[in-house]
Structure 1
């Protein structure tokens, strides 16, 4: 039996990944499919169908609907950053000038090693997760690139000593 991969067998998400209408409610089977795909985004439709006890056509239709509704935003590889040459990871908190989030976000998107950007509430405004080759590269990223953004008022860097990726339970 040939193993068909999801990346080759399901539709692309809508342009921009944002659905036009609110997503339809998820049932237990949809949530189970999401869990399986979070564990292995390369799982075949056939194996997903077998594990959630539905027909292959049903699984295929559900996965396509999850993509069309913007619930599944894409498929990606989970990377071991240290083994891939990015031995330093850090969370960086930023305080920024009020009402400059969009401008700051656009500048942060161009920086090397930025894995996640979030606008948050609390003592700071932005939280970044970055991965760099080493501490020297991390220092350069923070001191030369991030602190050079005019709208960034201050930053704090929290070194990551160890990471564990989790599959989110639906």
Structure 2
């Protein structure tokens, strides 16, 4: 993200708001204008873009770009900054989507247990034939087997699972 700092030494990456501090689901979302959407597009493509380059690309002052990025952080629109990882090159050559059927009204309990699951990358509560969609990255099939047959099956609220092995994957880059 921005490598520049304002005179006070602040950096938008420092101490991003905790989820409870950010605008929550009960608060109305502030509408985004074209400049906000352009800033989001730029930061999605390059989270390390400097304030100066963001400001130049959206044709606003550095102070304005800084204020807008901080507002997007404060409002919870930007949840954080991170790296896009090639899981195979990082030693996690096996990926799978795992669907789970869970006991009704147990989402919060199950979610907390899935968050600490080794290799868990994405968790979603969904509607349809199953309740939860979980993406995991593991070093190999043996580790995936351990996750599914030992770790997931040990969660009392999990009624059943189905594993979809990923043969190839690609993160879609923002257009622009």
Compute the TM-score of the two structures, normalised by the length of structure 2. Answer: 0.88
Superimposed CA distance per residue, residues 22-79 of structure 1 (whole angstroms, 9 cap, x where no aligned partner)? 3321001100100110011011010111111111111111101100111001001110
How far off is 1:169 after superposition?
5.8
| 1:118 aligned onto 2:124 | yes
Q: Secondary structure at the match of 2:19?
A: helix
The ranges of structure 1 where at least 4 consecutive aligned residues each deviate by more than 6 angstroms after the TM superposition are none
Matched, 1:12 2:15: yes
RMSD: 1.8
In structure 2, what is the equivalent of residue 164 of structure 1? Answer: 170
Structure 2 residue aligned with 1:76, among 65, 70, 82? 82
Matches of 1:109 and 1:15, distance apart in 2: 17
Q: Are 1:115 and 1:128, in contact at CA under 8 Å, matched by a contact in 2? A: yes
Q: Does the alignment pair 1:143 with 2:149?
A: yes
Other-structure match for 2:68: 62
When you count helix as a share of all residues, which structure comes out higher?
Answer: 1
Runs (5+) with no aligned partner, structure 2? none
Rounded to whole Å, the distance in 2 between the matches of 1:72 and 1:154 is 34
Equivalent positions of 1:82-97 (< 5 A) are: 82-97=88-103
Distance 1:107 1:169 in 2: 35
SS state at 1:64 partner? helix
Aligned to 1:153: 159
Structure 1 stretches lacking a partner, 5+ long: none
Residue 110 of structure 2 corresponds to residue 104 of structure 1: yes
Q: TM-score, normalised by structure 1?
A: 0.91
Cα offset, 1:168, TM superposition: 4.7
